[in-house]
Structure 1
Amino acid sequence: MIKPYASQLAFVSRCLDSALIVLAIVIVGWFNNQAVTSDFLMAGLLGGLLHQILADFTDIYRSYRTESLWAEAKQVALCWTMGFVIICLLGQFSPVEATLFSWPMVAQWFIAVLSMLLVWRVVVRSAMRRLRSMGYNSRSAAIVGTGSLALQVASRLKSAHWAGYKIHGFFDDRRKSRELDFDCRRAAYGSSIECDAIGTINELVEKAISGELDSIYIALPMRAEKRIQDILARLSNSTATVYVVPDLNVFEHLHARSFNLNGLPAYGLIGEPMRGLNGWLKRLEDIVIASIILTMISPLMLFIAALVKLTSPGPAIFKQQRYGLDGKSIKVWKFRTMKVMENGSDFKQATKGDNRITRVGAFLRKTSLDELPQFINVLQGSMSIVGPRPHAIAHNEEYRGIVKNYMRRHKIKPGITGWAQVNGWRGETDTLEKMEKRVEHDLHYIHHWSVWWDIKIIIKTIFKGFIGKNAY
């Protein structure tokens, strides 16, 4: 119903966005009892023009049929924010009315425009979802393959309930020997994935040429390159849209993302978990919480420093070389708990009954109070409050060759506490299994990081993470 008019709808969307930007500045002017002068209108028209120019960079008028509302909202917010910042900068160097770019009018305009841009999209999505549930504007999809990847594609299409996709069938010439296995995998995805048929590639091509299919998703293993090319050649006489879904599950990946390599599409399997907004949020969280905690514990730190200094010869603070972000060397601050200060490749991990540990040091290590100076590391930016614990360089060199994905824990800053620590994997790692479990928890944290999860880990640390039976 809508597909033939997609370009016209995109044009209408562009016009509506620009009109709302102008309308918002008029409403804000009236709300503040300001006469809507030509300066106001010119600012609104400039905002609409910039929004359209930046829309081509943020691609906000693409089809969001298979994407969530949150994905669309982020792109729209980014586009408008960029345009708004440019308008404000230009306003500082142009002879416009001062009231236009004064507080709170400028903030009201920003919020009003963003709200309007998002609200009409929510309304349209709700209406389209209703229409598609009634059978209008639906899409017929076929999936090539009957393996686990094909089931994942079907599951994603089914979960995108707003998109109105109907899975027409699974097609694979090699399906006969795997039908039972296919049914078992399908059951593993919770509810059964409904479809009309499981057929051959010949049947797929016939349906595509006859116009029964809107979209075809090829979900075959990466080793099936020749089969994929043959299927693409046979589908070239149809008007169906064909997608190839790469089977990247055969790789261990960390925050994978696609990107454009000077015109060549590429896929980064090992990415940067804390890049962009996530990195800023994580850093802001660290600064705020570390500042509060240091203010509260500074008398305690002074007392511990004096106690360490008075009970054994040597400095109160010990700075040890550890691996930080991207495996680069950092100096981690700790209260000295040993009679000696070992570092580098000569370091030997503390064990139960270790005679190098002082009496005060034993208590500090057992209660993790020796880690308190690391909040200074957090403010310096070399550490985070929550993250994988930094190991001694000697341990990194020992385990990086025998524990799978060991160094990937260094894709984010090391932390004072972490998911592994609150789950009991702290202290001495005298067996390979203990280190593997620690790395497993660290990577799980990196994959699923959020501010709320950090807060949960901090709370768990307060109640159960400071004292542990494995800390010596």
Structure 2
Amino acid sequence: MNLPTQIEANAPLPNGGILARLLDIFVIAVGALIATPVRTIPGQAGYDSALIAFALLFAFVVFPLFGMYRSARRNLFWRCVCVPAIIWLAVLCAALACVCLLHAPYLPAASWFAEWALLSGLGLIACRLLDSALSLKLADKTGNLRSVAIVGSGAHCRQLLRKVETSSDSLYQVAAIFDTAPGLAEMPENARAFRDRERFAAYLRRHGVDELWLALPLSEEKTIREFTRLFRQDLINIRFIPDVSGLALFDGEMVNLDGTSAINLVGSPLSSESIAQKDVFDRIFALLAVLAVSPVLIVVALAIKLTSRGPVLFKQLRKGANGRVFKIYKFRSMRVHTQTEGVLTQATRDDPRITRVGAFLRRTSLDELPQFFNVLRGEMSVVGPRPHAIEHDSLYQDIVDGYIHRYRVKPGITGWAQVNGFRGETDRIEKMQKRVECDLYYLSNWSLRLDLRIVVATIFKGLIHRNAY
């Protein structure tokens, strides 16, 4: 489970880092002013100003969503150089796309645009490095790295140790572990392991350990009481981080409900911040994708119209996040045919309903391209569980474990299941079960890096597949 709010070390700066955000806006604006364009087209400067305005707006809104204002103490190159550079380039592309939509022939002067991107990018990176240097210096002066002792064993304790060790901004260092059972294969560096309670307590008192974390299952009430009583005369913070792995579907995240702490046993696996990050990524990626493949969209639409009768787009009702129904868009790949209401026949190999153009579109996944418009409408994500026909939802949700939880996020154009080979016809329950297992894994392990990994895998190996027909 995730650590409680009070031991999250990577929370944003106060007021969302408003001073840091204003400094970034200043850096971007100054970079644009220093890189003065040379214009020969009358009136073009106005669109340059619009480009700068869009970039400033997007930077102000998007930067906090991607953790730009969290003080980095580890992985400095990634956090202080790579992340700012990637997000800044994405903001520039989004701003340029917006101005192009307003003024189709617009193209900024290449030298000015490149100089602005470079100067502002270097300025943003310098701000991140300065912030990290100041944070590290302050941490050294105040000695705010807190030592922690953990009581627990097994997978839950190992997971907690990994989170502390791998967190890029952790303010905690594990000093000692009381292993309640032989369940820890590896010990953190500079940490002592104990099985004797009195020696464990003496070590914590001698070294002035700041906090004691009880990483125990709910059934270990007796052990919890014993350790609480053992340190009743000590000024040490004692925190209970319960092991709810046997109860929670996803990580049992600690949430705050109007001042009352609660643990999610069955709930959305993504926090509101993660959903916002994913939504920003989706909209920017979809907008750039539509602009990039617009010639392909036109060619495919003409090919469908000229080779078979019927509409270019196929529309079908699907379920989205929280079970909301929406219309999904695809390029039509089948001949127009009558269909019994409430009955859906999946496409099979050598299906006579599929046109020659449609067969090519299905093999290459080009029929899915119109779904980028679903993403722009906020109905789908670029990456997520693939939406199934409502008739299939009604069939599988009662017989496939965990099927209903695919609805906890927006469905995606591609997903973890698809890049792992689980796509196409689901003629056996086992196939659908494997697909759902992949979807649940994705929900439990979501990150922007995983989304990018799936997008890259889709481009290189997921577009064409033997099961796509």
TM-score range, shorter chain: 0.5 to 0.7
Relative to structure 1, the CA distance from residue 167 to residue 416 in structure 2 (aligned partners, 3 Å threshold; closer, same or farther) is closer
Relative to structure 1, the CA distance from residue 289 to residue 443 in structure 2 (aligned partners, 3 Å threshold; closer, same or farther) is farther
Name the CA distance, whole Å, in 1 between partners of 2:454 and 2:225.
49
Q: Return the offset for 1:281.
A: 2.4
Counterpart of 1:125 in structure 2 is 136
Pick from 268, 271, 275 the counterpart of residue 270 of structure 1. 268
Pick from 329, 333, 336 the counterpart of residue 329 of structure 2. 333
SS at match of 1:345: coil
Relative to structure 1, the CA distance from residue 168 to residue 281 in structure 2 (aligned partners, 3 Å threshold; closer, same or farther) is closer
Alignment of 1:332-371 (within 5 A): 332-334=328-330, 335-342=332-339, 345-358=342-355, 360-371=357-368
Q: Which has the higher contact order (CA 8 A, sep 6+)?
A: 2
Relative to structure 1, the CA distance from residue 465 to residue 305 in structure 2 (aligned partners, 3 Å threshold; closer, same or farther) is farther
Alignment of 1:32-431 (within 5 A): 119-125=130-136, 128=139, 140-159=147-166, 167-171=174-178, 175=180, 178-179=181-182, 182=183, 185-187=184-186, 194-207=190-203, 212-254=208-250, 257-268=253-264, 269-272=267-270, 274-309=274-309, 314-334=310-330, 335-342=332-339, 345-358=342-355, 360-431=357-428
Aligned residue type for 1:440: E
Q: Return the offset for 1:282.
A: 1.9
1:356-386 CA-partner distances (Å, limit 9, x unpaired): 4455544443343433433443343323343
Aligned residue type for 1:303: A
Q: Return the offset for 1:302.
A: 2.0
Relative to structure 1, the CA distance from residue 293 to residue 446 in structure 2 (aligned partners, 3 Å threshold; closer, same or farther) is farther
The answer to whether 1:443 aligns with 2:468 is: no
Q: Return the offset for 1:264.
A: 0.5
1:111-135 CA-partner distances (Å, limit 9, x unpaired): 9899669725524415856x99xxx
Counterpart of 2:89 in structure 1 is none
Q: Return the offset for 1:434.
A: 1.8
Relative to structure 1, the CA distance from residue 328 to residue 266 in structure 2 (aligned partners, 3 Å threshold; closer, same or farther) is same
Q: Return the offset for 1:155.
A: 4.2
Q: Return the offset for 1:420.
A: 2.4
1:137-163 CA-partner distances (Å, limit 9, x unpaired): 875532222333333334444556987
Contact 2:176 2:194 in 1 (8 A): yes
Q: Return the offset for 1:222.
A: 1.8
SS at match of 1:260: strand
1:208-250 CA-partner distances (Å, limit 9, x unpaired): 5667433212111122134313422332211122122221433
Aligned residue type for 1:186: A
Name the CA distance, whole Å, in 1 between partners of 2:214 and 2:206.
19
Structure 1, 354-363 or 220-229: larger mean CA deviation? 354-363
Name the CA distance, whole Å, in 1 between partners of 2:339 and 2:289.
31
Name the CA distance, whole Å, in 1 between partners of 2:153 and 2:456.
45
Contact 1:253 1:270 in 2 (8 A): no
Name the CA distance, whole Å, in 1 between partners of 2:166 and 2:365.
45
Q: Return the offset for 1:444.
A: 3.7
Structure 1, 206-215 or 223-232: larger mean CA deviation? 206-215
Name the CA distance, whole Å, in 2 between partners of 1:150 and 1:387.
30
Q: Return the offset for 1:326.
A: 2.0
Contact 2:333 2:357 in 1 (8 A): no
Contact 2:150 2:215 in 1 (8 A): yes
Name the CA distance, whole Å, in 2 between partners of 1:122 and 1:344.
65
Contact 2:151 2:212 in 1 (8 A): yes
Relative to structure 1, the CA distance from residue 261 to residue 415 in structure 2 (aligned partners, 3 Å threshold; closer, same or farther) is closer
Aligned residue type for 2:195: G
SS at match of 1:249: coil
TM-score (norm 1): 0.63
Name the CA distance, whole Å, in 2 between partners of 1:289 and 1:464.
18
Q: How many residues of Structure 1 are paired with residues of Structure 2 in the alignment?
A: 371
Relative to structure 1, the CA distance from residue 124 to residue 288 in structure 2 (aligned partners, 3 Å threshold; closer, same or farther) is closer
Relative to structure 1, the CA distance from residue 399 to residue 377 in structure 2 (aligned partners, 3 Å threshold; closer, same or farther) is same
Contact 1:308 1:316 in 2 (8 A): no
Name the CA distance, whole Å, in 2 between partners of 1:395 and 1:297.
29
Where do 5+ consecutive residues of structure 1 fail to align?
1-12, 33-59, 78-107
Name the CA distance, whole Å, in 2 between partners of 1:205 and 1:460.
51
Counterpart of 1:468 in structure 2 is 465
Relative to structure 1, the CA distance from residue 116 to residue 370 in structure 2 (aligned partners, 3 Å threshold; closer, same or farther) is closer
Contact 2:149 2:175 in 1 (8 A): yes
Q: Return the offset for 1:205.
A: 4.3
1:305-340 CA-partner distances (Å, limit 9, x unpaired): 33121xxxx544332111122221111223051452
Name the CA distance, whole Å, in 2 between partners of 1:162 and 1:415.
31
Aligned residue type for 1:150: C
**Structure number, greater radius of gyration:** 1
SS at match of 1:279: helix
Q: Which has the higher helix share?
A: 1
Counterpart of 2:93 in structure 1 is none
Name the CA distance, whole Å, in 2 between partners of 1:316 and 1:165.
58
Aligned residue type for 1:215: E
